[in-house]
């Protein structure tokens, strides 16, 4: 799918509306580089009007040599013969005014036709993975974990990631990320049989760090009107368009959470170092066993890990009969980052908690066969918990 680069998220949204479904948007050259590194089949790069001409020329010249079958389309508010001459010399295949929506659409269509002709086939489609974050106890940092892991998986725009807030009564994903969604999953109620990505995409809210969010309804009453079949359809639709779909669930085994768990590829189970939570988590794990959900695809995350409370990793592992994948250290900075609306992996990427979240993201991506994420947690002396790849057994 085409990738758009522009410094203004509103312009990205404007261009996305006239491009093929699933088009990706990034806000910097660094994020574009990260995206292209893992996208050998990218057929079009759309350079938005807020990218300085010299920068656009530099990007186009670089891609002309490194990715000659990827078309560069320069979009400008206006242009003259000098801009046309320089852009064509640099290897741009089209120069279009931002107001010319038909021209932008046709330029991208030509890029796809060229790619298909050069490579003897159509471009591939994404088949992503669903990661569900769950805990039977509220207040353990589930949403904080889901948000930070989703941002770590997005890897500064290198991956297409969608974060779904499935705590439909009291979801906090949007407020945690200082988003003000115009649409939520509530608007898909009743569309189970008609739902496709064009409908779902219209419900998503873009975060500035190239992450898409499907927000929970603003009021708790919508929860009772959302069906399990709708959740299944939404998750499967998103999975076809995104590399990763991270689902933040409510702290109970309700019908919607069970449906999400049934759809999941990897399950992150969150616990804290207190006996009531560990008791509830143990019961939850036993329930997952009985339901045959995510067998051999679970990751125990110990949040607010602090030996001073009298419990450590080994004791937790003994109680729950499963290893701790990643401990998240106790820190007031994590709560402060959440309160400020800028998650810790963005506001302080070198913080121990940020490294732990990235380590978890690397563990998950490696388990799913994606070895491209960079785990720099080892630089601080943390031990890697990355498991060996297992054969997946699906129900």
Q: Which two tokens stand for residue 79?
A: 């242009």
Q: So what's the pLDDT on residue 126?
A: 57
With bands split at pLDDT 50, 70 and 90, how would you rate the model's confidence at 393? very low
Residue 267 contacts residue 287 (beta carbons within 8 Å): no
DSSP code string of 248-286? EPPSS--HHHHHHHHH-SEEEEEEESSHHHHHHHHHHHH
Computed over every residue of the chain, the mean pLDDT equals 87
Q: So what's the pLDDT on residue 59?
A: 95
- As a whole number, mean pLDDT of residues 379-395 equals 34
Q: Residue 387 pLDDT > 50, yes or no?
A: no
The answer to which of 68-77, 114-123, 318-327 has the lowest mean pLDDT is 114-123
Q: So what's the pLDDT on residue 191?
A: 84
Q: How far apart are CA 285 and CA 270, in angstroms?
A: 11
Domains of the chain are: 3-119 (3.40.50.2300), 129-380 (3.40.50.300)
Q: How far apart are CA 217 and CA 171, in angstroms?
A: 8
- As a whole number, mean pLDDT of residues 131-143 equals 94
- As a whole number, mean pLDDT of residues 45-54 equals 96
Q: How far apart are CA 258 and CA 262, in angstroms?
A: 6
Could you report the per-residue pLDDT of 76-114, keeping only the tens digit for each?
Answer: 999 999 999 999 999 999 999 999 999 999 999 999 999
- As a whole number, mean pLDDT of residues 249-265 equals 93
The answer to which of 62-76, 102-116, 159-173, 207-221 has the lowest mean pLDDT is 207-221
Could you report the per-residue pLDDT of 276-301, keeping only the tens digit for each?
Answer: 999 999 999 999 999 999 999 999 99
Global pTM reads 0.83
Q: So what's the pLDDT on residue 124?
A: 53
Q: What is the dihedral of CA 310, 316, 317, 322, to 10 degrees?
A: -170
């Amino acid at each position: 799918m085409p990738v758009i680069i522009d410094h203004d998220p509103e312009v990205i949204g404007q261009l996305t509306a006239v491009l093929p479904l699933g088009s990706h948007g990034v806000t910097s050259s660094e994020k574009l580089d990260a995206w292209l590194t893992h996208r050998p089949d990218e057929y079009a790069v759309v350079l938005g009007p807020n990218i300085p001409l010299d920068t656009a020329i530099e990007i186009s010249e670089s891609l002309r040599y490194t990715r000659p079958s990827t078309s560069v389309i320069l979009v400008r508010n206006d242009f003259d013969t000098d801009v046309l001459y320089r852009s064509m010399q640099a290897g741009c295949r089209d120069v279009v005014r931002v107001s010319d929506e038909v021209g932008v659409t046709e330029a991208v269509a030509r890029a796809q036709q060229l790619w298909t002709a050069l490579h003897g086939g159509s471009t591939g489609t994404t088949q992503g993975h669903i990661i569900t974050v769950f805990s039977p106890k509220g207040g353990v940092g589930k949403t904080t974990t889901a948000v930070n892991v989703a941002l770590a998986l997005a890897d500064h725009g290198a991956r297409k990631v969608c974060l779904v807030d499935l705590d439909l009564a009291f979801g906090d994903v949007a407020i945690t990320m200082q988003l003000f969604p115009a649409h939520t999953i509530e608007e898909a109620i009743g569309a189970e049989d008609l739902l496709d990505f064009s409908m779902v995409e219209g419900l998503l809210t873009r975060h500035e760090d190239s992450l898409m969010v499907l927000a929970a309804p603003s009021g708790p009453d919508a929860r009772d009107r959302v069906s399990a079949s709708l959740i299944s359809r939404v998750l499967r639709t998103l999975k076809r368009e995104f590399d990763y779909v991270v689902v933040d669930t409510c702290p109970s085994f309700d019908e919607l959470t069970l449906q999400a768990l049934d759809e999941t590829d990897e399950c992150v189970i969150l616990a804290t170092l207190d006996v009531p939570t560990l008791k509830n988590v143990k019961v939850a794990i036993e329930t997952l066993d009985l339901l045959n959900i995510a067998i051999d695809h679970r990751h125990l995350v110990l949040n607010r890990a602090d030996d001073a409370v009298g419990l450590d990793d080994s004791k937790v592992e003994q109680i729950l009969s499963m290893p701790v994948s990643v401990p998240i250290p106790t820190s007031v900075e994590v709560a402060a980052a959440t309160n400020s609306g800028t998650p810790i992996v963005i506001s302080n990427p070198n913080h121990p908690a940020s490294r732990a979240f990235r380590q978890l993201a690397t563990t998950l991506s490696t388990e799913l066969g994606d070895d491209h994420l960079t785990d720099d947690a080892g630089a601080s002396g943390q031990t890697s918990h990355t498991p060996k790849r297992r054969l997946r057994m699906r129900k």
